[in-house]
Amino acid sequence: MYIHKEEIKSCEERVKKLLEVIPPQGKEFLQSIEHILEREKNWVWWKRDGCPAFQKQPTERKIGHDGAKKRRGSSAI
């Protein structure tokens, strides 16, 4: 027995509509569920791709007009 993509999409839309009308905050609940599922999808893709390491590129420090490094977050007193 095969389920077609159209049937899955139809079922998904029906479930979303039902979740949306759950009192008192169905819409917010649906948004939370969608957010969780999106994160899970990303996690599954990461696992599928062999769990590659997360690497950030080093950030460059900005240099001021006079050549000195700029200070971050401090205000003049």
Task: Give rounded-to-5 percent helix, strand, coil for the chain.
Answer: 50, 5, 45
| Sequence ranges of the domains in the chain | 5-48
CA distances from 34 to 17, 52, 60 (A): 13, 25, 36
pTM over 0.95: no
pLDDT by residue for the chain (77 residues), tens only, comes to 677 999 999 999 999 999 999 999 999 999 999 999 999 999 999 999 999 887 877 888 777 666 666 666 655 55
Q: Which of 13, 41, 17, 43 is nearest to 29 (CA)?
A: 17
- 16 three-state secondary structure: helix
Q: Which of 45, 46, 47, 43 is nearest to 35 (CA)?
A: 43
